[in-house]
Chains A and B, each alone.
Chain A
Amino acid sequence: MQIDWNHFTPWASLIGGLLLGLSASLFILVNGRILGISGIVGGLLTPRAGDTSWRLAFVLGLVIAPSVYTLFAGPVLATVDAGWSTLIVAGLLVGVGTRYGAGCTSGHGVCGLSRLSPRSLVATLSFMGAGFAVVFVIRHLLA
């Protein structure tokens, strides 16, 4: 294992992480809800009376974030190397997987681990493990 010093951003990532923790803290203490993106979005697909507007308000905040960020700090840059078909397969896997496993990086990874939930620890180890494995196969076995 070699560290990629050129791309290593410990401070920006730590500050970003602190903001994510602050968001999750506010959401559970102020609104009484777990900040789990896949659960919040998934709930929009089976709408129930009185349960939709809070989800939409939250998602709207997420989608508007780059515009607000750009206003103060410049453009949001992202490099997506995956091709179109890979993106579709990946999206389907993420969609089915997060709903079947009842959570993603935010719900299990941040909120679950912060609740000291053994269930979320198993989920987090599983999706991180699969992520490491798939990248290893793509970059080092197939490439």
Chain B
Amino acid sequence: MKNAVHPHRLAEFGVGLLFGIGLILAGMTDPSKVLGFLDLAGLWDPSLAFVMGGAILVSLGAFTLAKKRTSSFLGGAMRLPTSRDIDKRLVTGSLLFGAGWGLAGFCPGPALVSLGTGNPKAVVFVVAMLAGMALFEVLERRPAKLALKG
């Protein structure tokens, strides 16, 4: 049993796989399609509105149920976000993300899925994205250290 794969890891792998296939079917893994949606002033492809609409249609019920539970079906804690702050971090971060999304047409999920196709442009984007995330961690820790010293 020691070397067997934990059943929870299979569940997480399975959900990742399902989510990835959903992104491919939805058209989210094609940056030109994403940019077609973001181009309101040109020839507008409204398809991605159907992606978000379809996703929310299904998960509204799930989250309504999740809010009423304290544990998941596998028995672990129900980890719903607790932060309710609408602050500068939230808006600035989201604006930076949206700008990057509009530049290349990749957001994190589709970029990782595209990594699996071996597309060198997806590889470069994902490496830069990971570098950006690492940069955030560095910047995030610096003020805390300064505050401790001060």
Contacts and interface: CB of A to CB of B under 8 A. Distances in A.
Nearest to B18: A23
Nearest to A60: B13
Contact of A94 (B19, B29, B45, B129): B129
Contacts, number: 490
Interface string B80-114: 11011110011111111111111111111101111
A61 B95 CA distance: 29
B148 interface: no
Contacts of A18: 22, 54-55, 57-58
A18 B56 CA distance: 8
B93 A87 contact: no
A111 B132 CA distance: 23
A139 B42 CA distance: 8
A123 B129 CA distance: 19
Contact-residue bracket for chain B: 35 or more
A17 B60 CA distance: 13
Contact of A80 (B17, B59, B93, B104): B104
Contacts of B73: 29-30
A35 B81 contact: no
Interface in B41-96: 41-48, 50-63, 65-67, 69, 71-74, 76-81, 83-86, 89-96
Contact of A16 (B22, B67, B108, B121): B22
B3 to A, nearest CB: 14
A114 B60 contact: yes
A112 B60 CA distance: 10
Query: Which 9 pairs show the lowest CB-CB distances between chains A and B?
Result: A95-B132, A61-B16, A101-B93, A17-B54, A65-B20, A16-B26, A91-B128, A21-B58, A130-B98
Interface of B: 6, 8-33, 35-36, 38-48, 50-63, 65-67, 69, 71-74, 76-81, 83-86, 89-109, 111-117, 119, 121-122, 124-137, 139-140
Interface of A: 1-4, 7-10, 12-35, 37-38, 41-42, 45-46, 53-55, 57-69, 76-82, 84, 86-106, 108-119, 122-124, 126-136, 138-140
Given A32-B79, A96-B136, 6 more contacts: A45-B133, A62-B116, A82-B31, A100-B89, A127-B94, A134-B99
